[in-house]
Chain A
Amino acid sequence: MFDGLTIGQFIPGDSLIHRLDPRTKIVTTILLVAAVMLAGSWPAYLVLSILLLAVFTLAGIPPGMLWQNLRPFWFILGITFLLQIFFTPGEVVFTAGPLHVTRPGLALGGQILWRLTVLILAGFLLTATTSPLKLTAGLECLLAPGKRFGVPAHELAMMMTIALRFIPTLFSEAQTIMKAQQSRGADFMQGGLWGRVRGIVPLLLPLFAGAFRRAEDLATAMESRCYRGGAGRTRMEELSLRGIDFGALILCVALFSLILGLRWRGW
């Protein structure tokens, strides 16, 4: 079902994108997301899509993996698209039974489909090219100013590292459990709705039991190494912004301004 690859997995590499400072990548990703939300015209879609694909190419991630990462979302994507094309009022393009596909519906559906796809891929790009350690270091650093107002920057970042660290573990564990139950004749795909819901118990229960056990072990392991939160902790690798970071930031700000400008003009 999810052989080999999992969502949010880091793909080690030494590309330009891998070497960018995590803070740069987080900020540019946020800018990209904002730009995607603002974009409302073909030129804007085109520019952003090309940019994203170019960055993927630069990062050396094969196109097949984009598809693999989108696959788990196809259902949500499909449903939102269908809802839009059928339930937006306007000029009818064609009719399927009681349902009408409208021109504004198609446009809106396409737009939402594109937005969601780009958002998913942008998230994938960030986690694929940034090791979890760096990602949280960057996040903690960006959140640090909030500490004065009571934002637990370190704790948030640590929670995220742990979550990211264990997503692949959970996936592979789910896979193993599923296989084990299948070899006892469990069937995850058959039966009506009720059958399927019941069929999932042999998968979910051991998975949760395992997750709790793991969480407890981890807490013990951290405490026995005297972990007590962020105060006074130092890092193995200090973050530093370099030329390419400023280059990337300037490029993204420029692009964001362009999209904003287009929007301003009603595009």
Chain B
Amino acid sequence: MITVNNLTHIYAPGTPLETISLRNINLQISRGEFVALAGPTGSGKSTLAQHFNGLLLPSAGCVLVNGMDTRDKKKRRELWRTVGLVFQYPEQQLFEENVFAEVAFGPRNMGLDRREVERRVRRALEMTGLEYDTVKSMSPFMLSGGQQRRVALAGILAVEPPVLVLDEPAAGLDPAGRRHLLEQIKAWQLSRGTTVILITHNMEDAARYADRMVVLLKGEKWREGTPRQIFGQPEGLHEAGLDLPLPAGVMFGLKEKGLAVRCDTLTLDEAEQEIKTVLPGGK
């Protein structure tokens, strides 16, 4: 679905402010996969995300989406329909006078007819946990920050893109809202075979929802693998600025205390099982 070949990106090349934000990244993402993109602040996650739909173009190397090279100008429109990108703090991009028009902006730009637009807006809003009939005629600026975030997200979902790239969609939401949002995204991925790329600082989220993780460090791909593989070898993770999810962290602590337990537990249930195996009597 998405192939990244030797991607290097340089901001402001040839000036004293030149920053190499990505260096020689190679990546394969297949259809329907849920990939978590992690890494400390400034590691290049957002920069990489903007390469997936051609908002940023490679300084070297290339990015192929469905076989389309993102540098190909003629494929621009097709590209934004294929890859929906939700930016960090998307609520800052709201501009329409009511929520309906805001969410309908994308579908209308696709040239869909009125009924289809309405259907998609309703679906997208309900998916993000907003009541269609309550919010549709409210001004987006009257909503709370968390609600605005949902509206902005719905604006992309309504395009129903085969690839969804989310840049920290849950940052700043309350725990319940965060859980709900990610559950919905996961459900969307499973039910429609959407490819999801989720940028997150939260290792619990990565462990819970992702099929595969890619960890960036200082603009380079540092590690790649299933959450189990990544958290199963916690050495160096801390230096890379990442935490272990709680279940894996607990097990790692026990192991360091000399207990023979596995560390690649991702959920509390798993951790409980594993602890039982080493407890005398097995319970």
**Residue positions of A touching B, CB distance < 8 A:** 3-5, 11-13, 60-62, 64-65, 68, 173, 176-177, 179-187, 201-202, 205-206, 209-210
Contact = CB atoms under 8 A, between A and B. Distances in A.
A202 B97 CA distance: 11
Nearest to B55: A179
Nearest to A181: B93
Given A3-B12, A4-B15, A5-B12, A184 B109 contact: yes
B105 A184 contact: yes
22 contacts: A3-B12, A4-B11, A5-B15, A64-B14, A177-B92, A177-B93, A179-B50, A180-B90, A181-B93, A183-B80, A183-B87, A183-B156, A184-B105, A184-B109, A185-B80, A185-B81, A186-B105, A186-B109, A201-B95, A202-B95, A206-B93, A209-B141
B219 interface: no
A177 B93 CA distance: 6
A206 B95 contact: yes
A5 B109 CA distance: 30
A12 B17 CA distance: 9
B15 A185 contact: no
A264 to B, nearest CB: 41
B15 A64 contact: yes
Interface of B: 11-17, 50, 53, 55, 77, 80-81, 83-85, 87, 90, 92-95, 105-106, 109-110, 141, 155-156, 159
A176 B15 contact: no
B16 A185 contact: no
A201 B13 CA distance: 31
A151 to B, nearest CB: 35
A184 B101 CA distance: 13
B256 to A, nearest CB: 43
A3 B11 contact: yes
Nearest to A184: B106
A179 B109 CA distance: 15
A185 B106 contact: yes
Contact of B159 (A64, A65, A185): A185
A206 to B, nearest CB: 5
A142 to B, nearest CB: 28
A62 B15 contact: yes
Given A4-B11, A176-B87, A185 B92 contact: no
Residue from the set A11, A179, A210 with the largest chain B CB neighbour count within 10 Å: A179
Contacts of A205: 95
Contact of A206 (B50, B94, B109, B155): B94
Nearest to A208: B95
Contacts of B77: 185
A187 B76 CA distance: 11
Contact of A184 (B12, B13, B92, B156): B156
Nearest to A11: B16
Nearest to A213: B92
Contacts of B87: 176, 179-180, 183
A177 B95 CA distance: 10
Given A4-B15, A13-B16, A62-B15, A184 B95 contact: no
Contacts of B16: 11-13, 60-62
Contacts of A68: 15
Contacts of B106: 184-185
Nearest to A64: B14
B213 to A, nearest CB: 24
B151 to A, nearest CB: 12
A173 to B, nearest CB: 8
Contacts of A180: 85, 87, 90, 93
Nearest to B90: A180
Contact of A183 (B13, B17, B55): B55
B17 A4 contact: yes
A183 B85 contact: yes
Contacts of A181: 93, 105
B154 to A, nearest CB: 11
Given A180-B85, A185-B77, A185-B81, 6 more contacts: A12-B16, A177-B93, A179-B50, A185-B106, A186-B105, A187-B109
Contact of A202 (B15, B55, B105): B105
A186 B55 CA distance: 13
B159 A184 contact: yes
B103 to A, nearest CB: 10
A32 B95 CA distance: 44
Contacts of A62: 14-16
A31 B141 CA distance: 48
A195 B211 CA distance: 43
Nearest to A179: B55
A184 B80 contact: yes
A8 to B, nearest CB: 14
Contacts of B55: 179, 182-183
